[in-house]
Structures are given as structure tokens and as C-alpha cells.
Amino acid sequence: MPIYEYQCNVCGARQARRRALSDTSPPRCTGCGSGDLVRLVSVFSVVASCRDRTRDVSWIDRDLASRLERKAGGKLSQDLAASLERMKSC
Ligand SMILES: [Zn+2]
């Protein structure tokens, strides 16, 4: 069961939820109870050395963050944005 990360548009609280793929009901904020949550694109694991990642970095460009946001339909989490910046600087 995947874990999704959400941010509340009312109180700003970030929260992770384990949800079945079939669960399409809108989650509610654990902080304020609002149903106005946006799903964040979260960090993923990359099993590769920095050298391996830099062999072909053409897919890591300054537009990658916005492309990921469009594909996922949400904002990047701060952790993922920081990971992308680290990958660009290898
Ligand atoms: Zn809230």
C-alpha cells in the first residue's frame, strides 16, 4: 500500500498517509480537519552512485521539477526538491 504525502491548504500541516490505490476518497487534515489537501510528490529512492547518475544527466534539468509536478498533479515536497538539487550538483 503506497504512502502519500499531503499538505493542508488551510493550516499548512504536512502529513503522510498509507492509502490503497483503490481509495479515492479525499483525505482530511489531521490538524484542522479540512478536506483541502494537496498531494505532494515525495522523495523516492535512487540506488546508484553519484558517478552513475552523472553519466546521463540530460533528464535532470531545471524544468524537471515543473514536469514532475505536472505529471503528478501536485507540488513537489521540500525533500524531493532538495534531492533534485543535490542530483544536479553531482
Ligand atoms: Zn489543516
pLDDT tens for residues 65-77? 778 888 878 787 8
Q: How far is the CA of 48 from the centre of ligand 1 (A)?
A: 37
pLDDT in tens, 3-28: 888 999 999 999 988 888 888 888 99
**Residue pLDDT, tens place only, 42-54:** 666 555 566 565 5
Q: What pLDDT is recorded for position 11?
A: 97
Q: By the 8 A CB rule, do 36 and 8 touch?
A: yes
Nearest residue to 80 via CA among 43, 39, 38: 43
Q: Above 90 in pLDDT, residue 33?
A: yes
Cβ(3)–Cβ(16) under 8 Å? yes
Ion ligand 1: residues, CB < 5 A: 8, 10-11, 13, 29, 31-32, 34
Across the chain, what does the average pLDDT equal? 79
Tell which residue, 8, 5, 16, 69, has the closest CA to residue 42. 5
Q: What is the DSSP letter of 38?
A: E
- Tell me the pTM: 0.52
